[in-house]
Amino acid sequence: MEAHESVDFKRLMSEESTVSTLSSDSCEYYQTEIFDLLPSIQASRPEQNRHDFSEETNQGGREAGEKSGQLSRGPRDKTSMQPLRNLPMCIQGKRGAKERRKLEINDINFWESWRKTQSTNRKRVREQIKEALSGLVPWRQTLRTIEGKFGVGVKSYFVFLRYLIYLNLLHCVLIGGFIVGPSIFYRTDEYEPLIFKESDSALDFFLGTGYVNRSLVFYGFYTRGSLDLKCLNTPLLYLAGIFSIIFLSLILVVRRTTVGYKHTWMLGKRYSMNVSYKIFCGWDFTIQDPTAAALKHGFIRNDLKLFLEEQSFSLRAAQRTLGEKVRLYLLRIVLNLITLSLLGGAFYLIYFATQTSLKKDNSGHHWLVSLLLQYFPPITITFVNLVLPHIFRKISSFEDYSFTMQVNVTLLRSIFLKLASLGIYLFFVFTTTEQDAKCKENQFGREMYKLSIFNFLATFFSVFFFNYPRKLVQETYPRSSLARISGKQRFLIPFNVLDLVYSQTVSWVGVYYCPLLPVIGIVSLVVTFYVKKFNVMRCCVPEQRMFRGSSSSVLFHFMLLLGLFMCAATLGFNHYPLQSTEGRNASSCGPFRNEQTMFTVTGGCVKSLPSPAQTTIRYLTSEAFALPLILAEIIFLTSYVSRRRANQRAIERLKDMLVMSSSDKRFLVKQHATMLRQRNKHH
The sign one gets for the Cα dihedral 387, 388, 389, 394 is positive
If you average pLDDT over residues 177-202, what whole number do you get?
76
Give per-residue pLDDT as tens, 396-435: 888 878 777 777 788 788 888 888 888 888 888 777 765 5
Give per-residue pLDDT as tens, 465-514: 888 988 888 888 888 888 788 778 888 877 888 888 889 999 999 999 89
**Domain limit, last residue, from 282, 303, 319:** 319
| Same domain for 257 and 286 | no
Chain centroid offset of residue 394 CA? 26
Give per-residue pLDDT as tens, 128-163: 787 777 767 778 888 888 877 777 778 888 988 999
**In contact, 154 and 146? CB cutoff 8 Å:** yes
Chain centroid offset of residue 71 CA? 39
What pLDDT is attached to residue 678? Answer: 85
What pLDDT is attached to residue 62? Answer: 44
Nearest to 265 by CA among 659, 648, 650, 655: 648
What pLDDT is attached to residue 530? Answer: 93
Query: How many angstroms separate the CA atoms of 487 and 377, rounded?
Result: 31
For 436, counting Cβ atoms within 10 Å of its Cβ (0-12 exposed, 13-18 middle, 19+ buried), the class is: exposed
Q: Is residue 178 assigned to a domain?
A: yes
- What are the angstrom distances between the C-alpha of 421 and each of 339, 368, 580? 15, 26, 28
If you average pLDDT over residues 4-30, what whole number do you get?
39
What pLDDT is attached to residue 529? Answer: 93
| Same domain for 603 and 480 | yes
Q: Is a pLDDT exceeding 90 seen at residue 210?
A: no
| Same domain for 230 and 109 | no
pTM above 0.85, yes or no: no
What pLDDT is attached to residue 225? Answer: 72
Query: How many angstroms separate the CA atoms of 34 and 675, rounded?
Result: 12
What pLDDT is attached to residue 222? Answer: 84
- What pLDDT band is residue 32 in, cutting at 50, 70 and 90? very low
- What pLDDT band is residue 527 in, cutting at 50, 70 and 90? very high
Give per-residue pLDDT as tens, 247-282: 999 999 888 887 766 655 555 444 455 566 667 666
Query: How many angstroms separate the CA atoms of 515 and 241, rounded?
Result: 10
Q: Name the 3-class secondary structure at 595.
A: coil
| Same domain for 615 and 676 | no
Q: Is residue 383 assigned to a domain?
A: no
What pLDDT is attached to residue 28? Answer: 41
Give per-residue pLDDT as tens, 331-374: 889 988 998 898 888 888 888 888 787 765 555 666 677 777 77
Q: Is residue 665 assigned to a domain?
A: yes
What pLDDT is attached to residue 170? Answer: 93
Residue percentage of the chain with pLDDT more than 90: 8
Give per-residue pLDDT as tens, 51-90: 444 444 444 444 444 443 443 334 344 455 666 766 767 7
| Same domain for 187 and 113 | no
More confident residue, 105 or 302: 302
What pLDDT is attached to residue 230? Answer: 77
What does the DSSP assignment read for 32-61? IIIHHHSHHHHHHS-STTTTTTHHHHHHHH
Q: Name the 3-class secondary structure at 199.
A: coil
Question: Residue 479 — φ and ψ, nearest 5°?
Answer: -100, 5
| Same domain for 315 and 290 | yes
What pLDDT is attached to residue 18? Answer: 38
Chain centroid offset of residue 400 CA? 27
Q: Residue length, the chain?
A: 683
Q: What distance separates the 2 farthest-apart alpha carbons in the chain?
A: 113
Query: How many angstroms separate the CA atoms of 451 and 457, rounded?
Result: 10
- What pLDDT band is residue 676 in, cutting at 50, 70 and 90? confident
Least confident of 239-243, 409-413, 428-432, 655-659: 428-432
Give per-residue pLDDT as tens, 294-307: 767 777 777 777 77
Give per-residue pLDDT as tens, 499-510: 888 899 999 999
Q: Is residue 612 assigned to a domain?
A: yes
Q: Which domain holds residue 289?
A: 273-319
Q: Is a pLDDT exceeding 50 seen at residue 217?
A: yes
What pLDDT is attached to residue 439? Answer: 77
Q: Is a pLDDT exceeding 50 seen at residue 13?
A: no
What single-letter DSSP state applies at residue 267? T
**Residue 41 CB contacts under 8 Å (≥ 6 apart), including other chains:** 35, 57
| Same domain for 494 and 616 | yes
Query: How many angstroms separate the CA atoms of 214 and 195, rounded?
Result: 9
What pLDDT is attached to residue 284? Answer: 66
Q: Is residue 428 assigned to a domain?
A: no
Give per-residue pLDDT as tens, 579-611: 444 444 556 677 877 667 777 888 888 888 888
Question: Residue 544 — φ and ψ, nearest 5°?
Answer: -75, -30
What pLDDT is attached to residue 480? Answer: 83
What pLDDT is attached to residue 31? Answer: 45
What pLDDT is attached to residue 526? Answer: 93
Q: Is residue 116 assigned to a domain?
A: yes
| Same domain for 265 and 288 | no
Query: How many angstroms separate the CA atoms of 240 and 262, rounded?
Result: 33
What does the DSSP assignment read for 488-553? --B--HHHHHHHHHHHHHHHHHHTTT-TTHHHHHHHHHHHHHHHHHHIIIII-B--SS---HHHHH
Distance in Å from the first CA to the final CA of the chain: 12
| Same domain for 169 and 132 | no
What pLDDT is attached to residue 43? Answer: 66
What pLDDT is attached to residue 191? Answer: 62
**In contact, 214 and 582? CB cutoff 8 Å:** no
What does the DSSP assignment read for 219-237? GGG----S-B-SSSBHHHH
Q: Is residue 86 assigned to a domain?
A: no
For 187, counting Cβ atoms within 10 Å of its Cβ (0-12 exposed, 13-18 middle, 19+ buried), the class is: buried
What is the domain count for the chain? 4
Q: Is residue 306 assigned to a domain?
A: yes
Q: Is a pLDDT exceeding 90 seen at residue 3?
A: no
Annotate 343-354 with b (16+ C-beta within 10 A) or e (fewer): beebbeebbebb
**In contact, 491 and 540? CB cutoff 8 Å:** yes
More confident residue, 455 or 127: 455
Q: Is a pLDDT exceeding 70 seen at residue 193?
A: no
| Same domain for 304 and 230 | no
What pLDDT is attached to residue 58? Answer: 45
| Same domain for 288 and 267 | no
What pLDDT is attached to residue 546? Answer: 56
- What pLDDT band is residue 108 in, cutting at 50, 70 and 90? low
| Same domain for 521 and 468 | yes
